[in-house]
């Protein structure tokens, strides 16, 4: 006979898990507020908390990226986070927002790689006249 969990015990675990998530989100909100005020230690903490996870996420998206590629993408991601933190309103978890930026940057990086392989990565607009070749 299987033993079923006591409903009150299950509810207790759910309440504890919910309280833990809420506390984590509140701590994250306080950290982000410190970052917005320009606290350098807060930026260091934010970076330390999320950089490795962002790198793993980028590598999962593009396992053919080299370590250097992943590092470059992550650096671009965190530069965007620094520039655009005020656009994060806390409607999702910070890491969700960060991973969306990382996914977009990984896609952009791959497109640059493919463009470089096709033609040096330089795109000439139609309005740009061709440079005449010397005779």
Cα 26 to chain centroid, rounded:
20
What is the reported pLDDT for 29?
A: 93
CATH number of 11-114: 1.10.1740.10
What is the reported pLDDT for 4?
A: 64
Q: With CA atoms as reference, report the closest residue to 108 among 61, 66, 68, 67.
A: 61
Cα 56 to chain centroid, rounded:
10
The answer to whether the CB of 95 falls within 8 A of the CB of 50 is yes
pLDDT tier for residue 56 given thresholds of 50, 70 and 90: very high
pLDDT tier for residue 3 given thresholds of 50, 70 and 90: low
The distance in angstroms from the start CA to the end CA of the chain is 92
134 vs 92, more confident: 92
pLDDT tier for residue 94 given thresholds of 50, 70 and 90: very high
The answer to whether the CB of 73 falls within 8 A of the CB of 105 is yes
Q: Six-digit token pair at 13? A: 């675990």
Any idea where the domains of the chain sit in the sequence? Answer: 11-114
11-40: average pLDDT: 87
What is the reported pLDDT for 119?
A: 76
Cα 73 to chain centroid, rounded:
9
The answer to whether the CB of 98 falls within 8 A of the CB of 81 is yes
What is the reported pLDDT for 103?
A: 97
Q: Six-digit token pair at 22? A: 């809420």
Q: In this model, does residue 91 exceed pLDDT 90?
A: no
Q: In this model, does residue 65 exceed pLDDT 80?
A: yes
For residues 38 and 19, give the distance between their C-alpha atoms in angstroms, rounded to a whole number: 29
What is the reported pLDDT for 25?
A: 83
pTM score, whole prediction: 0.73
Q: In this model, does residue 106 exceed pLDDT 50?
A: yes
């Amino acid at each position: 006979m299987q033993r079923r969990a006591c409903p009150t015990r299950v509810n207790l675990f759910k309440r504890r898990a919910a309280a833990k998530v809420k506390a984590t989100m509140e701590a994250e909100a306080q950290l982000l507020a410190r970052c917005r005020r320009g606290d350098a230690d807060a930026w260091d903490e934010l970076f330390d908390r999320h950089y490795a996870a962002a790198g793993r996420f980028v590598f999962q998206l593009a396992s053919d990226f080299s370590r250097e590629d992943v590092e470059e993408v992550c650096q671009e991601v965190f530069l965007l986070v620094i520039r655009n933190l005020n656009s994060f309103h806390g409607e999702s978890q910070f890491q969700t927002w960060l991973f969306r930026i990382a996914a977009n940057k990984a896609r952009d990086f791959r497109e640059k790689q493919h463009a470089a392989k096709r033609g040096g990565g330089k795109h000439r607009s139609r309005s740009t006249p061709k440079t005449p070749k010397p005779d």
